[in-house]
């Protein structure tokens, strides 16, 4: 008995929902168990995540035919889609790549400060200051570049804006646990070693207290092309950082 037999037994409503959730997985790569509900101002359950849990055997068998697989992190509530052959890679520009690394480090720092914490919410100024700490950013950022990077990560269910305008220094951003699958532990360690080896954070301008706040990060970018990264600076990811070393469901 194959996946097609299970599919035939589904109601039309379930078939429609299955088609919708597969479309979302291919578009976003990640599904998180709890998503930000702007109307209620809190995290609420994600029905798409629950559907994948319920239809997991069927979905996995269906995806397997085309060379795709699911990674489940039940502890943190994340489902990720990846290609078993390392194909269909996405490309990130250099700034977005560095931003992802910074978010991953901030996520670990914040989760470590309070046991049992469910979410991490940070201001944009804190996120940008993390980039400066590593010497990754040493000039003002064009608004269009920052906006594009944040929109990319929102589409992938890595971050979500919970308060304020998108590029306001004090806007607040929720970091979803998908960041842990996007940037696994071994990649974080490699980044640390690279930064330490290059001395990237040495001699980088004035002290933090000499800045005038996160406003100093932003500048207008004219037609939206000034200061943007060139195509050759794009970074490869294997469908956002995996396949995983272990496909077993986390406990």
Condensed to tens digits (0 to 9), the pLDDT of residues 11-24 reads 999 999 999 999 99
Distance from CA of residue 111 to its chain's centroid?
Answer: 16
By the 10 Å C-beta count (0-12 exposed, 13-18 middle, 19+ buried), 185 is classed as exposed
Instruction: Decide: 155 and 161 in contact? Cβ < 8 Å.
Output: no
**Three-class secondary structure of residue 86 per DSSP:** coil
Largest CA distance in the chain: 68
Q: What is the residue extent of each domain of the chain?
A: 3-83, 90-237
- Start-to-end CA span in the chain (Å): 29
Of 75, 120, 49, 119, whose CA–CA distance to 251 is shortest?
Answer: 75
Whole-number pLDDT of residue 220: 42
What parts of the chain have a pLDDT lower than 70? 1, 114-117, 136-139, 191-251
C-beta separation of 217 from 129 below 8 A = no
What pLDDT was estimated at residue 92?
Answer: 84
| Nearest-angstrom CA–CA distance, 178 and 73 | 9
Token readout for 202 is 């040495």
In this predicted structure, what is the pLDDT of residue 98? 87
Nearest to 88 by CA among 103, 67, 61: 67
Among 193, 159, 144, smallest CA distance to 36 is for 159
What are the strands, taking DSSP E only, across 143-183?
159-163, 172-175
CA distance 195 to 135: 9
Per-residue model confidence as pLDDT tens digits over 39-67: 999 999 999 999 999 999 999 999 999 99
The label of the residue with tokens 């699958």 reads 181
pLDDT at 14: 93
Write out 193-237 in H/E/C secondary structure.
Answer: HHHHHHCCCCCCCCCHHHCCCHHHHEECCCCCCCCCCCHHHCEEE
């Amino acid at each position: 008995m194959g996946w097609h037999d299970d599919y035939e037994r589904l109601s039309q409503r379930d078939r429609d929902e299955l088609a919708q959730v597969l479309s979302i997985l291919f578009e976003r790569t990640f599904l998180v168990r709890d998503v930000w509900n702007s109307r209620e101002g809190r995290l609420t359950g994600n029905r798409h995540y629950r559907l994948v849990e319920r239809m997991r055997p069927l979905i996995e068998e269906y995806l397997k035919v085309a060379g795709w697989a699911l990674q489940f992190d039940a502890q943190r509530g994340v489902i990720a889609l990846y290609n078993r052959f390392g194909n269909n890679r996405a490309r990130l520009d250099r700034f977005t790549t560095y931003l992802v690394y910074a978010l991953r480090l901030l996520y670990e720092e914040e989760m470590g400060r309070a046991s049992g914490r469910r979410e991490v919410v940070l201001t944009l100024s804190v996120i940008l200051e993390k980039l400066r700490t590593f010497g990754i950013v040493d000039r003002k950022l064009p608004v269009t570049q920052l906006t594009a990077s944040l929109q990319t990560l929102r589409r992938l269910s890595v971050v979500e804006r919970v308060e304020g305008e998108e590029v306001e220094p004090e806007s607040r951003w929720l970091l979803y646990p998908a960041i842990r699958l996007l940037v696994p532990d071994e990649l974080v360690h490699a980044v640390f070693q690279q930064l330490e080896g290059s001395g990237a954070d040495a001699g980088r301008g004035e002290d933090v207290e000499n800045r005038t706040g996160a406003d100093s990060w932003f500048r207008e970018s004219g037609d939206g092309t000034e200061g943007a990264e060139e195509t050759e600076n794009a970074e490869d990811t294997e469908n956002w950082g995996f396949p995983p070393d272990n496909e077993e469901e986390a406990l």
